[in-house]
């Protein structure tokens, strides 16, 4: 009986955390969309830490772009990989772009970037398809040596 009660308590805690992560994410996303990045960043971080895969991806993008936080490619890469492990499709595109461009100090790896961008483009991501096109045509920063 004790194991059943403990199991139910653990389930209740997990569900409460999931609800809280969604609430915080929704609030953070509204602030992010309003370009209130400094207010959005700590909330997005909280939602990411609570396991919200969408928050992980958005927070990582904020780290890559320095939106409300200092640029930090190492942490962005970590959050994007966590989000990908949880099935967040947008994270694949963002990480592919980061590898392709070397944004925020991430080690530039065009081969790995191209692979992730290809997967994202095949899943219907148009931004990834455009970046792949630029890479293949050696346009913009991809035409430099």
- The CA angle 71-121-44, to the nearest 5 degrees, is 35
Domain count, the chain: 1
Q: What is the pLDDT of residue 13?
A: 54
Mean residue pLDDT across the chain: 91
Evaluate if residue 145 carries a pLDDT over 60. no
Percentage of the residues of the chain whose pLDDT score is greater than 90 = 81
Q: If you search the block for the tokens 């994007």, which residue do you land on?
A: 80
Q: What is the pLDDT of residue 20?
A: 84
Evaluate if residue 4 carries a pLDDT over 60. yes
Q: What is the pLDDT of residue 103?
A: 94
Helix axes 89-101, 53-65, angle to 10 degrees: 20
Residues 39-82 have pLDDT tens digits of: 999 999 999 999 999 999 999 999 999 999 999 999 999 999 99
State the pTM of this model: 0.85
Find out whether 99 and 109 touch, Cβ atoms under 8 Å.
Answer: yes
Compute how many other C-beta atoms are within 10 angstroms of the C-beta atom of residue 11. 10
Cα diameter, the chain: 68
What's the domain range around 108?
A: 2-143
Local confidence band at 144 (pLDDT 50, 70, 90 cut-offs): low
- CATH number of the structural domain spanning residue 88: 1.25.40.10
């Amino acid at each position: 009986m004790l194991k059943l009660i403990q199991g139910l308590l653990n389930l209740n805690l997990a569900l409460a955390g999931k609800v809280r992560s969604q609430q915080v994410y929704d609030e953070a996303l509204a602030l992010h969309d309003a370009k209130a990045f400094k207010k959005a960043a700590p909330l997005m971080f909280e939602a990411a830490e609570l396991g919200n895969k969408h928050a992980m991806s958005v927070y990582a993008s904020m780290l890559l772009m320095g939106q409300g936080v200092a640029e930090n490619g190492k942490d962005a890469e970590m959050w994007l990989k966590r989000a990908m492990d949880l099935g967040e499709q947008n994270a694949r595109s963002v990480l592919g772009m980061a590898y392709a461009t070397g944004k925020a100090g991430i080690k530039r790896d065009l081969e790995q970037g191209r692979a992730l961008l290809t997967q994202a483009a095949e899943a219907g991501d148009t931004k990834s398809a455009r970046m792949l096109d630029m890479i293949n045509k050696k346009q913009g920063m991809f035409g430099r040596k």
